[in-house]
Structure 1
Amino acid sequence: MTGIGLIIKKRLLIVLMFFLTVIVLLLIRLVFIQVIDGEWYQQQAYEQQNSGIEIGAGRGTIFDRNGKELAVSASVETVSINPQEVRKSKKDKYMIAKGLADIVSMKEEDIIKKLDRKSRYERIIRKVDKDVGDRIRKWIKDEQLSGIYVVEDTKRFYPNRNLAAHVIGFTGTDNQGLDGIEATMDKYLKGKSGKILSEVDAGGREIPFSEQKHVAPKKGNNVVLTIDETIQYLAEKALEKAIKDYKILRGATAIVMDPRNGDILALTSKPDFDLNAPFAAPIGIDKSTWKGTTKKDIETLQKTVWRNKAVVDTYEPGSTFKAVTSAAGLQEGVVRPDSPVTDATVRVGGWNINCWRPNAHGNETFTEGVYNSCNPVFVRVSQALGIEKFYSYVRKFGFFDKTNIDLPGEAKSVIHKKPTEVDMAAASFGQRFQISPIQLITAYGAIANGGTLYKPRLVKELTDDDGNVVKTFQPESVRTVITKETAQTLRTILEGVVADGTGGNAYIKGYRLAGKTGTSETLQTKKYGRYIASFMSFAPADDPVICALVVLDHPDVYPHTGGMVAAPVAGKLVEDILNYLEVPRRYTEKDKDALQVDTTVPEVTGLTFENAKKLLNEKGLTYEIVNKGNTNATVVMEQMPKPDAIVPEKTVVLLYKYKPENEPTVIMPDISNQTIDEAAKTLQAAGLNIKAVGLGNAVKQSHPPGTKVIKGQLVEVVFRKLDTE
């Protein structure tokens, strides 16, 4: 018995322990349900007892730095149904399908499929205009329908269409950001959706006479960019003109930065697209087969108009990189501005490196070597530094890392991990490695501001609807790369590149512009053959407020160098920006000598010749009297140029003593390659006036040689320095 009793006690103890364990586990589970996961279960129960219709949240506005709207949310309507509620109403589903289809322009069968589903919520259509929503509301009321809902929604709208397309980006059908700032700042912009809630029974049917609850949507925050809408517009127009003038085949890029804090004032890539129709077929694509949503179509968009060349593309920087080599050499003391150098051929690893110019420059100072952009000069600087020291500066200037700009898809540079002497020699003048445009302008920003490398800043702050600042994104200093003294020395040298060197076609009268040309050849079908022309600049050279980079991919003209095609584009862009920023001009003696002051031709017909001469002299104009026979006219019968024409001072105005039946014409001479003085004399001898644009030799004239031109006509002639890299 004792043994049996002991066994029973053990069994009872086991059973007791089992039940205690179960109770403890149940208590633990209860704690989890009631305390730890309580809110989740409450939400599940709430949602089970309540049927909800989502109300879209207003997406935050995207502003430029001056408060101009770049992306806004417009009010639209979303139409949805509760199939269970519709069936419960006993209304004919075919009548409902036809009524909805007629109003929203959908197929009846598509709506019937949604009506036949067992769910409590089916979306019929999103983003219809308010007048469509009002028609549906009236129809619901007239037909006494239930289970059909029209609720307020939002639709993204871009007032400037393609302006800053690659910066702003766009949203999808559900208002989620898909590209650009819309994507990277989506968590701040998107807000929180609201709901219209109705109580339902266990079968999902709406409980009669139950009270509906409205959970208001919460609008997202506004994003204020560093972009300046006006500067962005100027940059885009500059590229559009360049693409037309120089027949650019593979797109172009322009970036404008404030070097003092890294703010991006403009960033554009061409081709681009209309933000209001991002899935539309690019120009040149067959629209008859285009859908815009297939995998093939999306890949086409990503390779063409969606491609942000300023950030996602890499290229060989060419001679624009020589500023980095110069900075390293000056900082380390291996070269001084007045150091004697030579452009004699350098042989590295069996490879001869020569100056780009067939007629060598010979012995020169380092400063002159930079002006002339002699490749051997920079190879020797890199050799004096050595591989380790040279590439330490490449790293300091940020070329081994992404800039982490607030845009998707930033490319990483392509640089040799274990560079050789040959790699370094080629890199010293910008070849055999690749960087992105945003990396290059970021590096130049450090030269312009006195030596500090800044992260490019695209987002300035977040605000609420009352204009209160919610979050500020401060400028981020990455590191100091060179001293202020080195930066100042290099800025002076780069100013000379524009004033006296290969960057002369970017010269601006009254503004001190510093910069460097670049021409690189890229691989095309496994061989070199496509050229990229670029110009990197900052201004004013002594106290820079902007950096500007222009990159033109495959100009189909000759010469196709950075100095010939990119420099004039950058120069005009910088001039327009400085004018907009109201930076005062400071004319040098050289500027004054080349300065053309425009004036307006006054109306002198009907005046006596004496009075006409006096008025023309007051306007800085000269004159020539044209007689026919022995006309004794005492007043001017006709004039050329016509009144109100804008012409340079000293233009010759022809004063006629008779009324010509037909305006007299002359044959337009060929002034190709002539200097400004030569062209002016040639045109004057032909009875024509000149308006000179640029410096150097004539490369373009507004009227083709050999054509008939009205005598006294103003001829616009474009001049370029031809000896450029």
Structure 2
Amino acid sequence: MAERRPHPAAGRQLRSGATKTSTTGRVRARATEPRAAGARGDSQPRPNRATTPRTHGRHGDAGRTLRDGSASRPAPRRRGRKKVLRVPLANGGRRLHVVLIMLAMGLSLCAGRLLQLQGFDSSAYAAESAAALTQKLPLLPSRGDITDRNGTVLAATEPAVAVTADPGLTSKRPGEFADVIAPYLGMTVNELNPLLTKPNTRFVYLKKKVPAMTYSRMAAALAERNLYGIFRENDPIRTYPTGTLAGSIVGFVNPDGVGVEGLEYKLNKQLAGVEGQEEYESAPNGSKIPLGTSKITPAQNGYDYQLTLDSELQWVAQRRVAQAVKANKADFGFAITMNIKTGEVLAMAQAPSYDATKPLKDQKYRNLQALTAPYEPGSVQKVLTAAALIDSGTVNESTRLEIPNRLPSGPYEIKDHFEHDDDYKLNMRGVIAKSSNIGTVMLSRQMATADLHAYLQSFGLGARTGIELPGEDIGILPGAQMQGLTRDRVAFGQGLTVTGIQEISAIAGLVNGGVYNPPTIIKGATDSNGKPVALPVKDPRRIVSSDTSTHVRDLMRAVVDNSGKTAALRLDGYTSGGKTGTAQRGTSKGYKGYITSYIGYAPLNDPQIMTYVVVNNPKGADPTGTQVAAPVYRDIMQFALPRYSVEPTKTSVLKPKKISW
């Protein structure tokens, strides 16, 4: 057996005096001296760590000799010691990169927003900013004036303002503001203080309709005391200098300046004009920046209208109608005076009337009765029936009739307003002069019903005349297939309804050579620059022949010639023609009372002016057209004819023609 060779390290002496031996090639330390004091199994006490030096090194240092020569034992392993979690520090460079990226992203967003504001959307934002500092105030136009044919002002506009306040400015010194403005506004300090200090608002009205001069003086007084916070809005005052004169025609406006009656309503858009606007840059307190941008779009004032009315003739007509209504205890009355040659309405009076400046106190009969209150015209209608009969060639003014005392008509009988024998002999002139219902029906029965209807329709019945006033009624004209009973009644003025303007326009056309002139109440208009405004053209039209017109005038003359000794139908200095009317008054409960009327014209052979008077439900002793309406007609005509330079005739009384045979 070969001899085992010792390991090269065998027998090597360690620093502590120990030797290493190995049988397997691994080195194992073995102590050559007894254990140090305090080793396991040793009876000696364990040294205090605080006084005994610790050995340094790992297991290979076991048995290391200390400086004092004593040997130390190996350090025991610690049992149950918890590991401490240590987070490694971040990389500084990487952290810096993250911060720089975040800053770059933030700067990019800011740059993008800046580009949007100043590049792409700069105009929009600039406009929005400018709009926030721009004040827009309306510039109200001046409402147009209404005058009569001679320039007399019937409606005008007086400059005035609505005084406003900004409580945000006035609430700091309300007492000072109130002391200054109270005398100008006609208000007390106690009334003004709650308005000047009203919370949660920057706008409040103090008083409306304040004259412009009054506001100017008040503004100067505020400026002297350096008080800022009182403002104004244009709020013109509509005035009616003539009061009740033509009140129903002119109408009135509401507190907002909008027409609600009469011509003020009908022509509201033209009278009102077009609103303008003022734009200016303002300070945060609302005051105008003196050198800031400003723009003014001027308002366009409304049209001025000149009417065909004659205010003096209108006054005469209104007074006389009012007297007749009062004297006869009637419900209402009206009178229309017309220029036959042109269709111009010279006067349109009614009673009761009202003051346009106080419309709420006088609401009764506020509308024009001559346009809005249809009625059965009575015997005045016989003029239209006669014109249709003559123009159609059915009869002539000399046609003879034997008139019975009663005339059957359907289940009823027709009678005259006067009693006579069964063989009462009249020609057509006599039928109109005596206003015979029976004679008129007998003549009309000789004409086809459809033809009579066509003539009445051509005279303008059953349709609006087109006069420039609101609320015109069309009345009722029975159809061409009306029954015989209805046809009989229509012939003498019942069974149909008309308006005053329809009736006078039709008869004016019949005596005007047979030419119908549509009625008008507007003579002309001018714009805000004084230039004439084109008005709708109303063409005249022929309704009967000139020969028929001559015969109609002769029939109306017969009424005046045969009025006996009564002066009510005659005119001083002028020949004339006319026709009375006394119709039963229809109500919801049947016929009750009468509607009296008279229509006449002058001169006889050259008709110039016509007047039609209607008094509804007079309660006097003799409620007839001759006694109630004719005197009003006479007074109006005696004023109108010389006023319009109508030359008097040589004689006003003509020799009567025969009315009987």
With normalisation by structure 1, the TM-score equals: 0.67
Aligned pairs (5 A) from 1:217-616: 217-244=299-326, 246-279=327-360, 281-282=361-362, 301=363, 304-344=364-404, 345-360=406-421, 362-417=424-479, 419-464=482-527, 467-477=530-540, 479-501=541-563, 505-524=568-587, 526-588=589-651, 590=653
Aligned partner of 2:252 in structure 1 is 170
Secondary structure of the corresponding residue to residue 236 of structure 2:
strand
Secondary structure of the corresponding residue to residue 379 of structure 1:
helix
Structure 1 Cα separation of the partners of residues 199 and 442 of structure 2: 77
**Kept in 1: contact 2:574–2:651 (CA 8 A):** no
**Kept in 1: contact 2:563–2:569 (CA 8 A):** no
Structure 2 Cα separation of the partners of residues 520 and 213 of structure 1: 66
**Higher mean Cα deviation, 415-424 or 495-504?**
495-504
Aligned partner of 2:156 in structure 1 is 72
Q: Which protein is richer in helix relative to its size?
A: 1
Name the amino acid aligned to 1:59: R
Decide whether aligned partners of structure 1 residues 379 and 197 sit closer, same or farther in structure 2, where only a CA change above 3 A counts. same
Structure 2 Cα separation of the partners of residues 395 and 114 of structure 1: 65
Aligned partner of 1:104 in structure 2 is 185
**Kept in 2: contact 1:62–1:72 (CA 8 A):** yes
5+ residue gaps, structure 1: 1-33, 283-300, 593-725
Name the amino acid aligned to 1:485: D
Aligned partner of 2:222 in structure 1 is 140
Name the amino acid aligned to 2:156: V
Based on CA coordinates, which of the two structures has the bigger radius of gyration?
2
What are the Cα deviations for residues 522-548 of structure 1, in whole angstroms up to 9, with x where unaligned?
Answer: 135613222111001121121111121
Decide whether aligned partners of structure 1 residues 213 and 80 sit closer, same or farther in structure 2, where only a CA change above 3 A counts. farther
Decide whether aligned partners of structure 1 residues 194 and 111 sit closer, same or farther in structure 2, where only a CA change above 3 A counts. farther
Structure 2 Cα separation of the partners of residues 589 and 66 of structure 1: 30
**Kept in 2: contact 1:518–1:562 (CA 8 A):** yes
**Kept in 1: contact 2:180–2:222 (CA 8 A):** no
2:138 to 46, 54, 58: 54
Structure 1 Cα separation of the partners of residues 378 and 576 of structure 2: 20
Aligned pairs (5 A) from 1:12-23: none
TM superposition shift of 1:276: 2.1
TM superposition shift of 1:233: 2.0
Secondary structure of the corresponding residue to residue 534 of structure 2:
strand
TM superposition shift of 1:152: 5.5
Structure 2 Cα separation of the partners of residues 527 and 332 of structure 1: 35
Structure 1 Cα separation of the partners of residues 200 and 278 of structure 2: 20
Name the amino acid aligned to 1:68: T
Decide whether aligned partners of structure 1 residues 278 and 267 sit closer, same or farther in structure 2, where only a CA change above 3 A counts. same
Decide whether aligned partners of structure 1 residues 229 and 198 sit closer, same or farther in structure 2, where only a CA change above 3 A counts. same
Decide whether aligned partners of structure 1 residues 336 and 499 sit closer, same or farther in structure 2, where only a CA change above 3 A counts. same
TM superposition shift of 1:576: 1.6
1:188 to 247, 270, 274: 270
What are the Cα deviations for residues 253-309 of structure 1, in whole angstroms up to 9, with x where unaligned?
Answer: 001111222111111111111122222x24xxxxxxxxxxxxxxxxxx1xx141311
TM superposition shift of 1:338: 0.8
The total of aligned residue pairs comes to: 527
TM superposition shift of 1:461: 1.6
TM superposition shift of 1:468: 3.0
Secondary structure of the corresponding residue to residue 219 of structure 2:
helix
**Kept in 2: contact 1:232–1:268 (CA 8 A):** yes
**Kept in 1: contact 2:175–2:193 (CA 8 A):** no
| RMSD (Å), alpha carbons | 3.1
Decide whether aligned partners of structure 1 residues 104 and 348 sit closer, same or farther in structure 2, where only a CA change above 3 A counts. same
What are the Cα deviations for residues 374-409 of structure 1, in whole angstroms up to 9, with x where unaligned?
Answer: 101111222111221111112111111111211111
Secondary structure of the corresponding residue to residue 523 of structure 1:
strand
TM superposition shift of 1:145: 2.4
Structure 2 Cα separation of the partners of residues 214 and 105 of structure 1: 33
Decide whether aligned partners of structure 1 residues 64 and 208 sit closer, same or farther in structure 2, where only a CA change above 3 A counts. closer
**Kept in 1: contact 2:449–2:487 (CA 8 A):** yes
Secondary structure of the corresponding residue to residue 160 of structure 2:
strand
1:126 aligns with 2:208: yes
Structure 2 Cα separation of the partners of residues 166 and 351 of structure 1: 41
TM superposition shift of 1:557: 1.0
Structure 2 Cα separation of the partners of residues 52 and 214 of structure 1: 10
TM superposition shift of 1:165: 1.0
Decide whether aligned partners of structure 1 residues 485 and 207 sit closer, same or farther in structure 2, where only a CA change above 3 A counts. closer
**Kept in 1: contact 2:584–2:592 (CA 8 A):** yes
Structure 2 Cα separation of the partners of residues 48 and 106 of structure 1: 35
Structure 1 Cα separation of the partners of residues 469 and 571 of structure 2: 33
Decide whether aligned partners of structure 1 residues 433 and 47 sit closer, same or farther in structure 2, where only a CA change above 3 A counts. farther
**Kept in 2: contact 1:317–1:435 (CA 8 A):** yes
TM superposition shift of 1:215: 4.5
With normalisation by structure 2, the TM-score equals: 0.73
Structure 1 Cα separation of the partners of residues 288 and 158 of structure 2: 34
Aligned partner of 2:5 in structure 1 is none
Report % sequence identity. Answer: 26
Structure 2 Cα separation of the partners of residues 568 and 116 of structure 1: 63
Secondary structure of the corresponding residue to residue 471 of structure 2:
coil
TM superposition shift of 1:424: 0.8
**Kept in 2: contact 1:506–1:569 (CA 8 A):** no
Name the amino acid aligned to 2:230: I
Decide whether aligned partners of structure 1 residues 208 and 497 sit closer, same or farther in structure 2, where only a CA change above 3 A counts. closer
TM superposition shift of 1:334: 1.3
Q: Which protein is richer in strand relative to its size?
A: 1
**Kept in 1: contact 2:390–2:396 (CA 8 A):** yes
Structure 2 Cα separation of the partners of residues 43 and 254 of structure 1: 63
**Higher mean Cα deviation, 315-324 or 204-213?**
204-213
Secondary structure of the corresponding residue to residue 549 of structure 1:
strand
Structure 2 Cα separation of the partners of residues 168 and 369 of structure 1: 41
Decide whether aligned partners of structure 1 residues 558 and 46 sit closer, same or farther in structure 2, where only a CA change above 3 A counts. farther
TM superposition shift of 1:358: 1.4
Decide whether aligned partners of structure 1 residues 119 and 514 sit closer, same or farther in structure 2, where only a CA change above 3 A counts. farther
TM superposition shift of 1:227: 1.2
